[in-house]
Amino acid sequence: MKKTGLVAGSLMLGGPLYRCIAGGSRQERAGRGLVLRFRPFVLQHRHEFTIASGSRTTTPVMLTELGYEGITGYGEASMPPYLGESHDTAGRFLERLDLSQFSNPFRTEEILDYVESIAPGNHAAKASVDIALHDLTGKLLGQPWYKIWGFDPGNAPDTSYTIGIDTPEVVREKTREASPYKILKVKLGLDTDRQMIEAIRSVTSVPLCVDVNQGWKDREEALEMIHWLKEQGVVFVEQPMPVEAIDDMAWLTERSPLPTIADEAVQGPADVGSVYGAYHGINIKLMKCGGMRAAHQMASAARVLGMRLMLGCMIETSCAISAASHLSPVTEWADLDGNLLITNDPFEGMKIIDGRITPPPGPGIGVTPA
C-alpha cells in the first residue's frame, strides 16, 4: 500500500487537509480503485453535555471521503471518549486499509467484509468507511438509500431532542429551547431523576422518553421509578440497568408498564438475539454497529423477532445523522439530534421539518459540505 500523504484536492471542507490513502494519485487520476481520504475534526457542543458517566464540551470525529471516478462519498466516525476510540485509533485503523484493490464499488459485501477483517472493534472507524461507501454507491445509482432499501420516507418518525443532566434552571432553559420538538429524550441515572422530570414538566407537556445509561442498580427501585415515569407521560425507558444485569432486566421487562430499550447492551447484529426477552426493543446506532449495512441487518433481525426499534446517534455531524435517517422509516422512535447539539457542523443534510425526520432525497445519503 502506497501512501500519498496530504493531497491538495481535500480542501473542500476547509480546515486541515485530508490524508489520502489508497493506490495513490496515479490511480486516482486513472479512475481505478477506491481512494480513501480522512481528517480529524473536533465538534464543539452547544451546551456542556452530561450523562450518567460524565460531562464534556467537545466530541472528536474523523471525516472520511471515498473517491471513485470523480464521485465522492462522505462518511464520518464519531468517537465519544467513553467508547474507547479516538483520532489516534481511527487514524491508525484507516491507514491500514488498502481500498485501491477494489475497482468495483458495488461489491459492498466484499469491501465491508475486508474492512471488518482488518481488526476487531473500531466500530466508529468502520462506520466512517461504510457510510462513505453507501454514499458513493447511492450517488452512482442516482438514488437515496431509503429508496434502495425499499422504505417510504413518509413513515419516518418524529425525532426526540436530548436534554442532558443539569440543574433545574438549565433544564428548564434547554426545554424551552427544545420547543420545536414533539418528543424529548431526558438523560437520567443520577439521584436527581425526579427533579429533572419535574423541571421539564414545569415547562412542557410533550411526551418524554428517558435514557438511564445503566444508572439504576436496584430492580425494585427501577420498577417503582418506571411506574412514576409512566404517570409523568414517559413513553419508553432506555438502558435502565447495567449491561451485565441481564437477569434483572428480564425481570424488569416482564413487569415494566413501559417498553424497555437496550442501548449499551446491544452493539451489532450478533447481539440482537442475546437481548431478546430481556428488553422489549433495541436502539440502533451507526457508530456502535459499524455503519449502515450492520444497522440495516439489526433492524431486520429485530423485526423478525418482533422487537421494537429505536434509532439513535452520538453527537455527530449532519453526515452520519443523514446516513441514519434513511433507516428511520422502519423505526418506531428516533433520536437523531446529534447535529443539533453542535455549533460547527461541516455538512448540510437531513432536516427536521415540524419535528419530523425527513430523509434527504439523495442521491446517496444526501449531504453536501456546508
Using CB under 5 A, list all residues that contact Mg ion: 211, 238, 263
Minimum CB separation of residue 291 from Mg ion in Å reads: 18
Question: Residue type for 131, please?
Answer: I
Minimum CB separation of residue 369 from Mg ion in Å reads: 29
Answer for the pair 285, 312: CB distance below 8 angstroms, yes or no.
Answer: yes
Looking at the Cβ atoms of 28 and 238, the one nearer to Mg ion is 238
Minimum CB separation of residue 295 from Mg ion in Å reads: 15
Looking at the Cβ atoms of 66 and 314, the one nearer to Mg ion is 314
Looking at the Cβ atoms of 112 and 266, the one nearer to Mg ion is 266
Strand 208-211 versus strand 234-238 pairing type: parallel
Minimum CB separation of residue 261 from Mg ion in Å reads: 8
Q: Round to whole Å and give the CA distance between 170 and 166.
A: 6
DSSP of 228-295:
HHHHTTEEEEE--S-TT-HHHHHHHHHH-SS-EEESTT--SGGGHHHHBTTBSEEEE-HHHHTSHHHH
Strand 35-51 versus strand 19-22 pairing type: antiparallel
Looking at the Cβ atoms of 72 and 78, the one nearer to Mg ion is 78
Looking at the Cβ atoms of 98 and 211, the one nearer to Mg ion is 211
Looking at the Cβ atoms of 135 and 263, the one nearer to Mg ion is 263
Q: Which residues neighbour 236 within 8 Å (Cβ) at sequence distance 6 or greater?
A: 209, 210, 258, 259, 260, 261, 280, 281, 308, 310, 333
Other CB atoms within a 10 A radius of the CB of residue 115 amount to 24
Minimum CB separation of residue 313 from Mg ion in Å reads: 10
**DSSP 8-state secondary structure symbol assigned to residue 43:** E
Strand 234-238 versus strand 356-358 pairing type: unpaired
**DSSP 8-state secondary structure symbol assigned to residue 187:** E
Minimum CB separation of residue 212 from Mg ion in Å reads: 8
Looking at the Cβ atoms of 35 and 278, the one nearer to Mg ion is 278
Q: Round to whole Å and give the CA distance between 164 and 317.
A: 18
Q: Round to whole Å and give the CA distance between 162 and 335.
A: 8
Minimum CB separation of residue 327 from Mg ion in Å reads: 17
Minimum CB separation of residue 325 from Mg ion in Å reads: 18
**DSSP 8-state secondary structure symbol assigned to residue 142:** T
Q: Which of 314, 47, 52, 51 is nearest to 169 (CA)?
A: 47
Q: Round to whole Å and give the CA distance between 4 and 23.
A: 8
Looking at the Cβ atoms of 248 and 263, the one nearer to Mg ion is 263
Residue of this chain nearest to Mg ion (CB atom): 263
Answer for the pair 211, 235: CB distance below 8 angstroms, yes or no.
Answer: no
Looking at the Cβ atoms of 100 and 213, the one nearer to Mg ion is 213
Strand 54-68 versus strand 2-6 pairing type: unpaired
Minimum CB separation of residue 98 from Mg ion in Å reads: 35
